[in-house]
Amino acid sequence: MVPLVRVRPEDARDYMRLFVNRRAYTLQSARPDPESGRHHYFRPKARACGKELSLTLDTVRRHLRGEITIGLYAINPATQRSKWVAIDADYEGAMEDLLKLQFHLAEDKVDAALEMSKRGGHLWIFMATSALARECRIYIYNLALKLGMRIKGNGLAEGIEIFPKHDELRPGEFGNAIRGPLGVHRGAARRYWFYGADYAVDKQIAYLKGLRKVSESQLRDFIAGKAMPPEFERPRSVSVEGPFVSRSGREFRILEHVGKVRTVGRNYVTQCPSCAEAGQDRSRDNLAISIEDPRKYICWAGCTREMIRRAVGCPIPDRRSA
Ligand SMILES: [Zn+2]
C-alpha cells in the first residue's frame, strides 16, 4: 500500500489550473483486469443514476492524496484547446529520447518537465493560455521528426506518443486521456514524481507553477510555415467504405473475429489482429470498434482495413473481380 499524503487545498486548485482541460475524466481501476493483468482506466459513473461523473476539486485532492488515480483528457471540446502537451515514451531508450526533446525544447526557450513513469517517462509542456490542439501537435511532431525520433502510429508500434492525440474532437468525443501526474499508479503501487523538484506534492506543484509557459504567439512562431506531417494526419473519422458483404452474402462483422473487448468511451477496444500477427499490441488496445456501428473500426498503430481483414482470414474481396 502506498501511504496517503496530506494535500493542501491550494495545491489541488493549482493542479486543476495546470492540468484539467475538461471535467470528464477517467479513473484507474483498483484491481487488475483478470485477463491482461493491467489496471485499466474507465469513465466513472454515479452509482445511483449511472450518470458520468464530473471532475471536482475533491477528485483532484483524492488523486493527489493517493486514494484514487485519475486520467486527464488533453482537449476541451468546446475550444479544441489544451493547457499542455505531454509526450509519453515507454520503450527501451525512452528516457534518452525524452531528454533529447527536453534539450531541444530548451533551445526554443520552452521549459519541459520530465515525469517518471512505469517504464519510461512523460515530458510535459505548459501553455500560458490554452492553445489549439492542432497547433501544439504541429510543433511537437515537426520537432520530433527533425530530431529523427520514432513516433508511435503510422505502422510504428514503438515510439513516442504525443498528447493531444487529436487535432480536434467532434461532439461526443473525448480523445485520449493520460495518467494524471503525481498520482499513484495502481499497477506499480507507487507514485511517480517530476525530476525537477523534491518528492512532495507541494514542492512539485510549486516547481510546475514556476516553469516558463508557452504563449500562443510563441507557439505560432514555432510552427510558422509548418503543417502536420501528412503521414501523421489522423483520419477524421473511421472509414466505412468498402464492401461489408462478402461473396457469401454475409456482412463482415469484426466483432466475430477479435478476442475479448473492453468498453472505452464510445468504442470497444481490443488487440488488433494485424498487430498481433506481428507480435505487437501486447497491451491489447490498438483496435477501436465503434459501439454504435461495429462496422467501423480502426487500428491506432496504422494497420489498414485490408491488413486487418487479411489477418482475420476474411480478406476484402477484390472489387474488379467481384
Ligand atoms: Zn494494428
Cα(273) to ligand 1 centroid in Å equals 6
Measured in angstroms, how far is the CA atom of residue 270 from the centroid of ligand 1? 10
C-alpha 34 – ligand 1 centre gap (Å): 23
The pLDDT score that the predictor gives to residue 160 is 95
- Whether 196 and 116 have beta carbons less than 8 Å apart is answered as no
Would you say residue 322 has pLDDT above 50? no
Mean pLDDT of 57-61: 97
95-112 pLDDT, tens digit each: 999 999 999 999 999 999
The Å distance, Cα 69 to ligand 1 centre, comes to 29
Q: Which of 60-64, 249-253, 276-280 has the highest mean pLDDT?
A: 60-64
Mean pLDDT of the chain: 89
Q: What does the pLDDT read at residue 238?
A: 46
Q: How far is the CA of 149 from the centre of ligand 1 (A)?
A: 21
Between 175 and 17, residue with greater pLDDT: 17
CA of 194 to the centre of ligand 1 (A): 32
Centroid of ligand 1 to alpha carbon of 46 (angstroms): 34
Q: pLDDT digit string (tens) for 67-79? A: 999 999 999 999 9
259 CA distance to ligand 1 centroid (A)? 14
pLDDT given for residue 83 in this prediction: 98
CA–CA gap between residue 131 and residue 78 (Å, rounded): 13
Residue 244: pLDDT band (50, 70, 90) is very low
Percent of the chain with pLDDT over 90: 58
Segment 27-54 shows an average pLDDT of 88
281 C-alpha to center of ligand 1: Å?
Answer: 7
For residue 138, give the nearest of 53, 232, 69, 61 by alpha carbon: 232
The rounded Å distance from CA 284 to ligand 1 centre is: 10
Task: Identify residue 269 by its one-letter amino acid code.
Answer: V
Banded pLDDT at 247 (limits 50, 70, 90): very low
pLDDT for residue 183 = 93
157: CA distance to ligand 1 center in Å? Answer: 9
How many angstroms is it from 68 CA to the middle of ligand 1? 32
pLDDT tens per residue across span 113-168 = 999 988 899 999 999 999 999 999 999 999 999 999 999 876 677 899 999 999 99
pLDDT at residue 82 in the model: 98
Dihedral angle sign, alpha carbons of residues 95, 222, 143, 15:
positive
The C-alpha cell that represents 129 in the structure block: 493560455
Query: Each residue of 203-221: pLDDT tens digit?
Result: 999 999 999 999 999 999 9
Ligand 1 geometric centre to CA of 117 (Å) = 25
Distance 134 CA to ligand 1 centre (A): 24
Higher pLDDT, 304 or 201: 201
- Rounded to the nearest angstrom, the distance between the alpha carbon of 135 and the centre of ligand 1 is 27
**Rounded distance, CA 283 to CA 270, Å?**
9
Cell 456482412 found at: 251
Residue 282: closest CA among 178, 158, 96, 162: 158
> How far apart are the C-alpha atoms of 168 and 79, rounded to whole Å?
9
- CB–CB of 146/233 below 8 Å? no
The larger pLDDT score, comparing residue 84 to residue 299, is at 84
Question: How many angstroms separate the alpha carbon of residue 304 from the centre of ligand 1?
Answer: 8
Q: How far is the CA of 280 from the centre of ligand 1 (A)?
A: 8
C-alpha gyration radius of the chain: 20
Mean pLDDT of 276-302: 86
- What share of the chain has pLDDT > 70, as a percent? 92
